Structure 1
Amino acid sequence: MKPPATADQFLSENGWPDSELSAVAGDASFRRYFRVSNDRGKAILMDAPPPHEDPRPFIEIARHLVGQGFAAPEILAQDLKHGLVLIEDFGDQRMREHLDHYPEDEHNIYRQVIDLAGDLHQKPAADLPPYDWNEYLRELKLLTEWYCPAQSLTVDEEGFEQVWLAALKPVLAAQNQPVTVLRDYHAENIMLLDDGRLGLLDFQDALAGHRAYDLVSMLQDARRDVSDDLEEAMLQHYLKISGEPSADSFRSHYAILGAQRNTKIIGIFTRLFVRDGKSRYLDFLPRMWRLLEKDLQHPDLKPVSDWFDNNIPASVRSSPVPQDGAES
């Protein structure tokens, strides 16, 4: 992975001349990341090329989070024309890999990330677009637009929208006092910093929405198995520290948002395969279906569950998406 052509000039103009650049792990977007090293130290170069990417939301939310006392990367330099941003380097100690090597730390670290979410929810929400019905529906339709065609399914799209509108009404009503929703709050976006804090990454898509969303993102992780016992323990912990007035309502909203998010991700991972040839994302689909089916067991999701049973039966869910002609 070669750095962008304008990287050397950008770095030199911002006090990082003669730097060595090495690629670091990225995400599922068009963004790329490089570690910058020279006598001055280390930093991370984000390459967010327009028109595919716009780094301004990341910059604005990072500064908002830092202003509220959270560990988001400091913005060291920026070139919005070319989509280049130099940010603080949080190192390589990522929550995901740490727990792979030290599973005995799991309960303690998950408790920390739930505490962080609780702290974030006590702060005023950032000035962000709302996580409204139109956005929820746009995400949900990724299933009918990508997964269903990939499985050669013809489904009741109007009924799909109707059952989800009814299911999400109480969630939307509960968002009258929204919080900052990071949206990709999971083990691969949490860094364990040397000072003991948790570093936050990949929050450029943040919206103002429901308190349960980032809990679902963390505890129903698309890329890492979280046991039912750990999920329940952390959910109970959040209810305790947040002072939620109705645990039953919150659990209902948690299940609804879990089902919404997992439905969306099934669509996204299918799109990454069908459109972008990234077949490795298909490996996550069995986990996503297990999580979705668990959420659909909640009584408040019965109409949604019925829609899935009538349109995407279990035999289809367990069938791999056809990979003929795709690249890995």
Structure 2
Amino acid sequence: MIPPPGTGAFLNAHGWGGAAVRPLAGDASFRRYFRVELAGRTAVLMDAPPDKEDSTPFLAVGKHLHDLGFSAPQPLAADLHQGLVLLEDFGDARVNPVLSADASAEHDIYAAAVDILAALHQHPHGCVPPYNEAEYLREARLFPDWYLPAVGLAEAPGYNDAWALLWPALFTHPPVLVLRDYHADNLMLLDRPGLKQLGLLDYQDATAGHPAYDLASLLQDIRRTVSPALETAMVARYLAARPGLDEAAFRTAYAILAAQRNIKILGVFTRLYVRDGKPAYPRFHPRLWELVNANLEHPALAPVKAWFDAHVPAAARTGVQS
């Protein structure tokens, strides 16, 4: 992975001239990341091509999180015309690979992640767009728009109408800041004491929405299996930390949002494969279907389950073949 052409001049202009630049990671977007090393200092260079990615929301939400006392990587320098941002380096201890190597701290790490959400949700959500019905539907429609054609199925009537019966349950609580991709691969173990020991990544799509969304994202992880016992314990932990919530309404919203998110991601990962030529993503489809099939058994999902049972046969629930 080669750094973008303006990297040398950008680093020179901000006190990092002559630094070593090594590939670090990419993600499902067009963003790429590099580690920059100079005289014992390190930073992360984010390359977000401005014709494809707008880094302004990422910087704004990161500042908001930082101002609230949470650990979000802060910019050391930025040139948004080139799409280059030099960020504080949180290291390499992502929760998912750390727990893959040694799961002994799993409960404590998830407890810390849940406590962060509970604390965050007691603050104003800041200046982010609303997670409204139109956005929930746009996301849910990624399934019929991308997944169904990829498995040779046409969309049957009634999909939007089934979801429309569910949306009112998602507006029973004042909106909070929803980071949208809160899971083990976007959480970093930091050498810092207390609640903020987890670093937060990948929040540029943050919205103002229901507090159950990020909890469902954390506990129904596509890349890492969270046991039913741990999921149950962590939902209970969140509710205990926020005793003013209507527990029944929260649990209903959690079920709906878990299903909406997992069904959306079936579409997103199909699009990444079909449109963007990223062959790694269909391998997650079996895990997603495992989650979706379980999600649809919740009574709150009855209208959507009826649509899936009528129009998406078992043979089409195995994933797109790469």
TM range (shorter): over 0.9
Quote how far apart the aligned CAs of 1:315 are: 2.2
2:151 maps to: 151
Quote how far apart the aligned CAs of 1:73 are: 0.6
- Residue 112 in structure 1 maps to residue 112 in structure 2: yes
Of 183, 192, 201, 1:195 maps to 192
Which AA in structure 1 matches 2:172? A
Measured on the aligned residues, the alpha-carbon RMSD in Å equals 1.1
Once residues 167 and 245 of structure 1 are traced to their aligned partners in structure 2, the CA distance between those partners, rounded to angstroms, is 19
Pairing of 1:89-238 with structure 2 (within 5 A):
89-156=89-156, 158-171=157-170, 173-175=171-173, 177-196=174-193, 197-238=197-238
What secondary structure, in the 3-state scheme, does the structure 1 residue paired with 2:78 have?
strand
Which AA in structure 1 matches 2:5? A
What secondary structure, in the 3-state scheme, does the structure 2 residue paired with 1:17 have?
coil
Asked if the contact 1:16–1:40 (Cα under 8 Å) also holds between the matched residues in 2, the reply is no
Residues 271-328 of structure 1 deviation map (CA, whole Å, 9 limit, x = unaligned): 111112222111111111111111111111111100001111222102x4233xxxxx
Quote how far apart the aligned CAs of 1:246 are: 2.2
Once residues 245 and 263 of structure 2 are traced to their aligned partners in structure 1, the CA distance between those partners, rounded to angstroms, is 28
Once residues 154 and 181 of structure 1 are traced to their aligned partners in structure 2, the CA distance between those partners, rounded to angstroms, is 33
- TM-score, L = length of structure 1: 0.95
1:45 maps to: 45
Once residues 32 and 280 of structure 2 are traced to their aligned partners in structure 1, the CA distance between those partners, rounded to angstroms, is 18
What secondary structure, in the 3-state scheme, does the structure 2 residue paired with 1:254 have?
helix
Asked if the contact 2:94–2:184 (Cα under 8 Å) also holds between the matched residues in 1, the reply is yes
2:5 maps to: 5
Once residues 113 and 259 of structure 1 are traced to their aligned partners in structure 2, the CA distance between those partners, rounded to angstroms, is 21
Which AA in structure 1 matches 2:189? L
Could you tell me which runs of 5 or more consecutive residues in structure 1 were left unpaired when the two chains were aligned.
324-328
- TM-score, L = length of structure 2: 0.97
What secondary structure, in the 3-state scheme, does the structure 2 residue paired with 1:46 have?
strand
Which AA in structure 2 matches 1:63? K
Once residues 279 and 9 of structure 1 are traced to their aligned partners in structure 2, the CA distance between those partners, rounded to angstroms, is 34
What secondary structure, in the 3-state scheme, does the structure 1 residue paired with 2:321 have?
coil
Asked if the contact 2:216–2:254 (Cα under 8 Å) also holds between the matched residues in 1, the reply is yes
After TM superposition, the runs of 4+ consecutive aligned structure 1 residues lying more than 4 A away are none
Once residues 287 and 103 of structure 1 are traced to their aligned partners in structure 2, the CA distance between those partners, rounded to angstroms, is 20
What secondary structure, in the 3-state scheme, does the structure 1 residue paired with 2:123 have?
coil
Which AA in structure 2 matches 1:19? A
2:240 maps to: 240
Once residues 271 and 187 of structure 2 are traced to their aligned partners in structure 1, the CA distance between those partners, rounded to angstroms, is 25
Residues 111-143 of structure 1 deviation map (CA, whole Å, 9 limit, x = unaligned): 000000001001111211000111111111110
What secondary structure, in the 3-state scheme, does the structure 2 residue paired with 1:230 have?
helix
Could you tell me which runs of 5 or more consecutive residues in structure 2 were left unpaired when the two chains were aligned.
none
1:326 maps to: none
